[in-house]
Amino acid sequence: MPELKTFSLFLVTALAEIVGCYFPYLWLREGKSVWLLVPAALSLAAFAWLLSLHPTAAGRVYAAYGGVYIFAAILWLWLVDGIRPTTWDMVGSGVALLGMAIIMFAPRSA
């Protein structure tokens, strides 16, 4: 099922981006070790590489990826930050995922 593969790849990509940004946040705002910048840089490199694995135009991938990123960020808010998403967080995330699905899976002429 190509839709599940696409969504899964976007989800892993979002995790790589969030981790790549979260580690510098921990260093800058929470006083954690500067060595967190090493896995952060590796994670951001993985993020860029993962985006390149999609077989469609880069602009379309970036636009659609944003929807999955929003969903993953709301999950991060809940699972890592320990803040339960509001109904509006969930509705907004659902709208973003719907936008991703429309962009990625709409029929296209060759």
- What is the 3 state secondary structure string of the chain? CHHHHHHHHHHHHHHHHHHHHHHHHHHHHHCCCHHHHHHHHHHHHHHHHHHCCCCCCHHHHHHHHHHHHHHHHHHHHHHCCCCCCCHHHHHHHHHHHHHHHHHHHCCCCC
| pLDDT score for 110 | 65
Per-domain residue ranges of the chain: 2-105
Encode pLDDT of 22-43 as tens digits. Answer: 999 999 999 999 999 999 999 9
Q: Do residues 53 and 15 touch, judged by C-beta distance below 8 A?
A: no
pTM of the model: 0.84
